[in-house]
Chains A and B, each alone.
Chain A
Amino acid sequence: MASVGTVHSGNNVNLKSEQSVDTPQRFSLPPKPSVTADSSLRFKISGLKVSYGPKEVLHGIDINISSNVVTALIGPSGCGKSTFLRSLNRMTETVRTARVEGDILLDDENIADMDVVKLRRRVGMVFQRPNPFPKSIFDNVAYGLRINGHKGSLSESVEHSLRRAALWDEVKDQLHKSAYTLSGGQQQRLCIARALAVDPEVLLLDEPCSALDPVTTAKIEELLFQLKPSCTIVIVTHNMQQAARASDFTAFLLEGRLIEYQPTPKLFTTPADPRTEAYITGRFG
């Protein structure tokens, strides 16, 4: 198990193997990944610092994110979870004053050197509040395909994406209605479908369920599980039950530092760091 270990503020990730933890067989890949698309590590991040103006939000994060698993980021408000997530597809650049230092390698290629448009096509994102475009349901999903000069049948791809987002059956008869006629949960699944339409390798979700009711939340968690074989998922969540239920690995961030990064069952049952334990048992945050 490469990349998983405990981290204490400022130190590098301890790359020791976690043989003791009962993880599924497919995660126990050789520690040295190949450069191919199915390499076990999708993101290798070292020394990531992000600041907005004079205020440094992330103080040097070292973390590796595995392919085709769900990685959850937890931590109290303002700990830098969202900033971390947004730096993975360079959405940090939409903030004028943001400055990013350190290396983020996506399949061993530094994302800072990549064309940002290509990067974002490979690394999709779903936001906290559903943000469908003021267009029809169909046009929302087709948007990414159209701007990418999609060749082939648009309607087939739209249907495929809506099916992947478990929304097809609810909307198939009203594809040309405004996306705003949908409920909040449906809108969020529409946003997931929209992100999936361009077939990203990585899907970043920034508290995707915080505005949704428990039933819809369960649907989206189920969805994440189904997407795992085809997509690497990184999810920021405030909800620790959600992290425990839906993720394979969990990273705990506190005040801009990575405190602990473990397979989810281990982090929630036997956390290595007392601060992690304090947080997950609800003593702060």
Chain B
Amino acid sequence: MTRRSVTNVVMLTLTGACALLTVSVMFYILGYLAWHGASALSWNFFTKLPAPVNVPGGGMANAIVGSAKLLLLACCIGVPVGILAGIYLSEFAGHTIASVLRFTVDLLNGVPSIVIGIFAYTVIVLPMHTFSTLAGGFALGIMMIPISVRSTEEYLRAVPSSLREASLALGAARWATITRVVVPAAFRGILTGVMLALARVAGETAPLIFTAFGNNSWSHGWSQPTASLPFMIYTYAVSPYDDWHRQAWAAGLVLVTLVLLVNIVTRLALARKMPLSR
């Protein structure tokens, strides 16, 4: 065999092995969660409040609802701000402003999540004198912004400028061109970016510790401390009770499954609704 074909074979094996490794890590985690968590999963897990120590049964209904509320709020903050800023970055900003903005957004993306938590604690928890869903959602929303901005920008820039020109030449104003041609052409990508951002913050625990805190009961409205799946996982996993460990595994399984489900459903809905992208 020549040196070139040896190189080919070696590199093919190496790249293939790394691809396989990536996929198998994902499936290993899923499998491990299922193995340990499935036994604790029951109807009760989804419908009941957490039970006190040594009382069998109990569930995490409040944490599931709490996480859903936190993520909903995070999306309400992170998605519009992220997408609009992404549009500004791609469509309006001049060269200098764009590079400064891009750098800042990347910095924000690099801020440790616990610091974002402290920030939310300072601006929301302290003035309100209480931990709350609002503060937790705010912290997660801020974490979603940089990811949404950058992915929106990337996908918008991938839209060929000939489409913008075609629209402008038809007498469309700049904003009409953006909303009717550019954004629709990049819509699938932008949504993928938002989904990634959502998946990223869904499992965040650190910023919730001093914003949403935790709650063994239901959290009503937006201004009470709330339970959330990641926080539950943390508290249950570090507890000394076997029963709680199993529940933590189950909570992990539910969290991963929910994120996966949202991803799959969005993709399916898009694939059916927009067969026109190239």
A→B interface (CB under 8 Å): 89, 91, 94, 96, 117-121, 124-125, 127, 129, 131-136, 143-144, 146-148, 178, 180, 191, 194-195, 198
- B176 touching A94, Cβ below 8 Å: no
A120/B168 contact (C-beta < 8 A), A131-B163, A133-B185 known: yes
**CB < 8 Å neighbour of A131 from B162, B171, B275:** B162
- A127 touching B171, Cβ below 8 Å: no
- Other A-B pairs beyond A134-B185, A147-B172, A195-B169, 15, CB < 8 Å: A91-B165, A91-B169, A94-B168, A127-B169, A133-B163, A134-B278, A135-B184, A135-B276, A143-B181, A144-B172, A146-B180, A178-B275, A180-B276, A191-B166, A198-B171
A243 to B62, CA, bound (A): 75
Indicate if B219 sits at the interface (CB-CB under 8 A).
no
A178 to B176, CA, bound (A): 21
- A195 touching B160, Cβ below 8 Å: no
Interface of chain B residues 234 through 278 with chain A (CB within 8 A): 275-278
- B162 touching A127, Cβ below 8 Å: yes
A272 to B276, CA, bound (A): 52
- The distance from the CB of B44 to the nearest CB of chain A, in whole angstroms, is 48
Q: Which residues of B contact A117 (CB under 8 A)?
A: 171-173
- B171 touching A133, Cβ below 8 Å: no
- B166 touching A147, Cβ below 8 Å: no
Q: What 0/1 readout, one digit per residue, does chain B (182-208) give for beta carbons within 8 Å of chain A?
A: 001100000000000000000000000
A148 to B275, CA, bound (A): 26
**CB < 8 Å neighbour of A147 from B164, B171, B184, B185:** B171
- B180 touching A131, Cβ below 8 Å: no
- B169 touching A124, Cβ below 8 Å: yes
- B160 touching A131, Cβ below 8 Å: yes
A194/B185 contact (C-beta < 8 A), A131-B160, A134-B278 known: no
**CB < 8 Å neighbour of B170 from A94, A136, A143, A178:** A143
Indicate if B130 sits at the interface (CB-CB under 8 A).
no
Indicate if B224 sits at the interface (CB-CB under 8 A).
no
Chain A: CB-nearest residue to B277? A134
- A143 touching B163, Cβ below 8 Å: no
A133 to B181, CA, bound (A): 7
A147/B165 contact (C-beta < 8 A), A134-B185, A178-B276 known: no
- The distance from the CB of A1 to the nearest CB of chain B, in whole angstroms, is 31
* 9 shortest interchain CB distances as A-B pairs: A121-B171, A125-B169, A131-B162, A120-B171, A144-B170, A178-B276, A131-B166, A147-B172, A117-B171
Q: Which residues of B contact A147 (CB under 8 A)?
A: 170-173, 176, 180
Q: Which residues of A contact B127 (CB under 8 A)?
A: none
- The distance from the CB of B206 to the nearest CB of chain A, in whole angstroms, is 41
Interface of chain B residues 133 through 183 with chain A (CB within 8 A): 160, 162-173, 176, 180-181
A168 to B170, CA, bound (A): 20
User: Can you list 22 A-B contacts with CB-CB less than 8 angstroms, sorted by A residue number?
Assistant: A91-B165, A91-B169, A94-B168, A119-B171, A127-B162, A131-B160, A131-B162, A131-B163, A131-B165, A133-B166, A133-B185, A134-B185, A134-B278, A135-B276, A143-B181, A144-B172, A147-B173, A148-B171, A180-B276, A194-B166, A195-B170, A198-B170
**CB < 8 Å neighbour of A180 from B172, B180, B278:** B278
A134/B184 contact (C-beta < 8 A), A147-B176, A178-B275, A180-B278 known: yes
